[in-house]
Structure 1
Amino acid sequence: MKYTFLGTSSEAIPVVGLGMGKGIGNQAKTAIYGSEDERLLRLGVDLGMTFIDVAYDYGSGQAEEALGMAIANIRNKVFIATKFPPEKSSYADVLRSAEESLRRLKTDRVDLFQTHWPNPQIPLEETLRAMEKLVNDGKVRHIGLSNCTIEEAKKARSFLLNIPPVSIQHEYNLLDRTAESHFIPFCRDNGMTFIGYSPLAHTRLGRKDERLIRIEEMAEKYSLSSTQLVLSWLTRQEGTMVVMRTSNEQHLLENAKIGDLMLAPEDIDAISSIFANDVKNIPASLMSIKIDNSQKAYTTLEEACENCYGLTPSPSELALQIKAGETLKPIKISIDSNVKGNLRYEVVEGKLRYWAWVIAYGKDVSIPSIIKN
């Protein structure tokens, strides 16, 4: 396994870590964890994948409990990264959520304690002050950020002068490379580690997609699986790692081998060209919201403005960030095969951000979008 350093510390971490999230939204919160998850976690650690990323509300706490069981006798071999939800961002709630995570993990310290999402209703300084106290109390070793904006990351660094955040976690894969123009350079310039989640989003493409075929052909040249090739490409830059979950033992064995791989510069460039970061500005008036059971979604502007599900951050809070000039990640849309009037696209990811743009600038606004199909 190939390793990198965590921030500017001397702590070596693998460039491919184990993620424990199962799905998004409601799927992640209601996921079930059991003995097979524990077995695969222990196997991953044996293979050198000692960085394990979990969260307070994965499986409503079951994920942390499963991790605690899995590492009971090997705690000192494992680097635990966990996250607390935005609704737990007040000073008292951060401290409480840390204690609950420590209890479920059956450990006396968390190696990396991260915000899961920002909460605009609570001053970031209040949240960070609690995280700083946890470090000073010896219950947390390092502080990290997730799903923040660059402005929020700058604010965190200016506040935490004595205990600077060591990492930023954001989505990063062949289909969404926006981190390369924002967060990866920021991390590099400020001595932080970039942690990418959802690294294998490209596998959702159809089997006949020309881009996938070319990746498979290139992988054959190296006697690799396409997954190994992609993971090597994603972690090619110093200070960048990814976390991923797998329920397949063979895939776990393959993923652990990427430290032995060296891609030729021309192949790195070829992959970059095949999956160019193609963000388009698409009018909101051409989009509708795709409804599914994985997460709560607003279907009308009135619902979004009222924030009747109590989501954090709310669409209106994100709209304020947009109007203040902060950069939010693109939404993801798909071409609607059942076109109704002018609604040519369905919003499949980033639904809160869609409504934020509409609240900020109206239905005529063009929204930075990635077309998934």
Structure 2
Amino acid sequence: MKQSRRDLLKFAGAAAVASSLAEAAPKSPASGGIPKRLLGKTGVEVSCLALGGHHIGTLPDVKASVRLIHQAIDAGITFMDNAWDYHDGRSELWMGEALKDRRDRVFLMTKCCSHGRDKRTAIEQLEASLRRLKTDHLDLWQIHEVAWDDDPEKHFMKDGAVEALAQAKKEGKVRFIGFTGHKSPELHLKMLSHGFPFDTVQMPINAFDSQFRSFQKEVLPELAKQGIAGIGMKSLNGSGAPIKQGLLTVEEALRYALSQPIATLVSGIDSEKVLRQNLAIVQRFKPMTPEEMKALEQRLAPKAQDGGLELYKTTRKFEGPVGRAQHGMSAEG
């Protein structure tokens, strides 16, 4: 993965490899037994399990963070998730420390948190992210948290964040570009309606999603049409509440999410115990059959139909402090 800027620019121009989300099916296990999948039309393969950057910043100190990241990489996890605003930059700083001698072993992603501000703000955030992550380029840069009604319009305005993505890719500072969000399939579809050449889109994928404002039913088919890679998140509903309530097991939750046509699943891993648990599940992963998925959805239906266990869709509690401030709200929910 280690490449010069010139090589990256050549790669970006040649990466129109024809594929669809159907090709997101697991490949042969990578080193460490983690299956790999195609990242949409990019032609790049990534581990089907991604290490979530937000939880990295919750660890006791940088040493604990570095140790956990190294264990994940050694086990075969190649996809690293992060964002400019996670814990005021701490997540990026600590991940950068862990990757300074392993950058060529990972697919590194972070996110722009401009929240409707101009292209200049987005580029400034990119430069800060590159410094913190101790790298001269990202493998993937995404607009973070498309969660507000005016977000699509602001991101696509003249000198908006979308122009920053295009400029960064042209300059070779990023290989691929995308956006994320957990609020509404409608907002995702508005972003996709512009015909902009996104490489990835990140969204909630879990066993509750299919029955309430469903990204799975509304967004994944559109990604398949456009050859865009889907990236899953919130497989445990963002808080683990369904697991704590005994509604399903972690294995059922991860297995259901990974049975959807996504390239990788971002998992919040905050301890070696959770890392071992998730690795074991992925290493023995077999896709659910349609019948198994339907049975699980029916079992969960009484708790899934009103969105009560998907609070990131129905409340503002999951919105980050930067986005909240941009929309006149207090930093914390």
TM-score in terms of structure 1 length: 0.65
Instruction: Give 1:173 shift.
Output: 2.1
**Mapping of residues 335-346 of structure 1, within 5 Å:** none
The one-letter code of the counterpart of 1:149 is: H
The one-letter code of the counterpart of 1:34 is: V
Following the alignment from structure 1 to structure 2, what is the Cα–Cα distance between the partners of residues 152 and 73? Answer: 36
The one-letter code of the counterpart of 1:195 is: I
- Paired residues of 2:37 and 2:48 also in contact (CA < 8 A): yes
Helix, strand or coil for the counterpart of 1:112?
A: strand
- Paired residues of 1:33 and 1:63 also in contact (CA < 8 A): no
Helix, strand or coil for the counterpart of 1:65?
A: helix
- Paired residues of 2:258 and 2:287 also in contact (CA < 8 A): no
**Mapping of residues 53-92 of structure 1, within 5 Å:** 53-87=81-115, 89-92=117-120
- Is 2:238 the partner of 1:204? no
Q: What's 1:344 paired with?
A: none
Q: What's 2:166 paired with?
A: 132
Higher Rg of the two aligned structures: 1
Helix, strand or coil for the counterpart of 1:238?
A: coil
Q: What's 1:260 paired with?
A: 284
Instruction: Give 1:171 shift.
Output: 2.0
Following the alignment from structure 2 to structure 1, what is the Cα–Cα distance between the partners of residues 320 and 236? Answer: 24
Following the alignment from structure 2 to structure 1, what is the Cα–Cα distance between the partners of residues 176 and 153? Answer: 24
Structure-2 change in CA distance of 1:86 and 1:268 (3 Å):
same
Q: What's 2:8 paired with?
A: none
Structure-2 change in CA distance of 1:239 and 1:264 (3 Å):
closer
Identity of aligned residues (%): 23
Number of matched pairs? 273
- Paired residues of 2:48 and 2:263 also in contact (CA < 8 A): yes
The equivalent position to 1:153 in structure 2, one of 154, 175, 192, is 192
Listed one character per residue, the Cα deviations across residues 68-112 of structure 1 (whole Å, up to 9, x for unaligned) are 100111101111110111347411111111111101100010111
When the two chains are superposed, the root-mean-square deviation of aligned CA atoms in Å is: 3.2
- Paired residues of 2:236 and 2:243 also in contact (CA < 8 A): no
- Paired residues of 1:31 and 1:58 also in contact (CA < 8 A): no
- Paired residues of 1:86 and 1:312 also in contact (CA < 8 A): no
Instruction: Give 1:256 shift.
Output: 2.1
- Paired residues of 1:19 and 1:54 also in contact (CA < 8 A): yes
The equivalent position to 1:122 in structure 2, one of 141, 154, 163, is 154
- Structure 2: tracts of 5 or more residues without a match: 1-33, 182-186, 309-313
Following the alignment from structure 2 to structure 1, what is the Cα–Cα distance between the partners of residues 224 and 73? Answer: 27
Following the alignment from structure 1 to structure 2, what is the Cα–Cα distance between the partners of residues 243 and 291? Answer: 21
Helix, strand or coil for the counterpart of 2:54?
A: coil
Please identify runs of 4+ aligned residues in structure 1 that moved more than 6 A.
289-292, 294-297
- Paired residues of 1:233 and 1:268 also in contact (CA < 8 A): yes
Instruction: Give 1:176 shift.
Output: 3.2
- Paired residues of 2:130 and 2:138 also in contact (CA < 8 A): yes
Instruction: Give 1:254 shift.
Output: 2.8
Listed one character per residue, the Cα deviations across residues 100-144 of structure 1 (whole Å, up to 9, x for unaligned) are 110110001011100013446735153212211111111000001
Helix, strand or coil for the counterpart of 1:194?
A: strand
Helix, strand or coil for the counterpart of 1:97?
A: helix
- Is 2:54 the partner of 1:21? yes
- Paired residues of 1:32 and 1:59 also in contact (CA < 8 A): no
- Structure 1: tracts of 5 or more residues without a match: 213-225, 283-288, 298-308, 316-350, 352-373
Structure-2 change in CA distance of 1:236 and 1:279 (3 Å):
same
Question: RCO higher in 1 or 2 (8 Å CA, sep ≥ 6)?
Answer: 2
Instruction: Give 1:181 shift.
Output: 1.4
